Structure 1
């Protein structure tokens, strides 16, 4: 971590954020585009959808900090839309491009977030939470999604995820 977060509450989350920024790229390494949309005769979310949902999550958080940039995920993932059967999702390279664009900008916002900003109330369908709680949830979800992609790697016949 280059800078110490303004809010002490953010230190651990920023460390995880940095790790997960790299881990997603490692999880996706070498996955062929044709495999990224395979569901192996299940209703499970495929690698492309999982990746896109992570990208969309970071763009959503960035908007809460006033960083409003377009993303390849804007339509297929709007309003937390679930996987769409038979939809053709963007290539992993497009998701990776957006991931690499938004991640440093959002990280800077997370580092600079004040306790006052973190206590902003958000109204989500069916719940009211603070920005800090949303960041915490998104951090947890990113780890979960990376684990799913790591499992998909093995199910699709790829070597396990390399953490080095």
Structure 2
């Protein structure tokens, strides 16, 4: 897979992005839709919300980089909306489909983003940071959410995530 980047700062980001791209389908593999919505009587984010939130993050970064894509469940996640009680979230298959749609054009954008674009300030409510910092945060957050889903696998009695191809 192509890893030549327009900005040297993006090389490690692309490596992690590619890992997360392959990890998400693996970490949700085998979940029942019922278990994907299970919070185990806590206020924790369930697997469906975590998965949709990951897709939303990629869609938002794509939008900032000029790729106007929205996931099917955009209304449930836009403006960094947290998990909502008494809402049945879409299926994991729906989220995986949107993940597969947003990932290729976003990857291309991350490969071609320039230092000048990365230094540009992103001004959104309650946040001000460079595009580079925001993209870095997104990739960090992806690892965090995938790890949470991996923990849910064990808490709900599923086997550990298989990292192998």
Relative to the length of structure 2, the TM-score reads 0.97
Which SS does the other structure have where 1:21 is aligned? Answer: helix
1:71-90 equivalences in 2 (<5 Å): 71-90=71-90
RMSD of aligned alpha carbons = 0.8
1:1-164 equivalences in 2 (<5 Å): 1-164=1-164
What's the CA shift for 1:135?
0.2
What's the CA shift for 1:73?
2.5
Which SS does the other structure have where 1:123 is aligned? Answer: strand
Instruction: List runs of 5+ in structure 1 lacking aligned partners.
Output: none
For 1:140 and 1:70, how far apart are their aligned partners in 2? Answer: 21
Deviates more, 1:124-133 or 1:19-28: 124-133
Instruction: List runs of 5+ in structure 2 lacking aligned partners.
Output: none
Which SS does the other structure have where 1:122 is aligned? Answer: strand
What's the CA shift for 1:128?
1.1
Relative to the length of structure 1, the TM-score reads 0.98
- Structure 1 contact 58–106 (Cα < 8 Å) conserved: yes
What's the CA shift for 1:137?
0.2
What's the CA shift for 1:156?
0.6
For 1:111 and 1:86, how far apart are their aligned partners in 2? Answer: 40
